[in-house]
Amino acid sequence: MTHEEYESLTTKKLKKLIKHAKITLSELQEELDNRKIDNQHSEIDHLEDHMEEVEHGFTNFITFLKDVLKEKK
């Protein structure tokens, strides 16, 4: 909708549209929050994989040192 079209709306209609927009916004926010929480639950379901990742501390450090040396060159 353009600014001119908004101007043509009655105040009552405008208030109704704002109310709808607010409801939609809060529903969208809720949906977004739920997705974030679902993602977090799903990530925790893979905790064993993360535990394995954590085991490779020394390998990680060597990889990092290689990258540091590359950056230096």
Residues at the interface with another protein (CB under 8 A):
36-37, 39-41, 43-45, 47-48, 50-51, 53-54, 56-61, 63-65, 67-68, 71-72
Contact residues for 17 (Cβ-Cβ < 8 A; gap 6+): 9
Which C-beta is closer to another protein: that of 18 or that of 30?
Answer: 30
Is the CB of residue 38 less than 8 Å from the CB of residue 46? Answer: no
Closest separation in Å from C-beta 66 to another protein: 9
In whole angstroms, how close is the CB of 32 to another protein at the nearest point?
Answer: 13
- How many CB atoms lie under 10 A from the CB of residue 63? 11
- To the nearest whole angstrom, how small is the minimum distance from the Cβ of residue 70 to another protein? 9
Angle CA 19–6–24, to nearest 5: 25
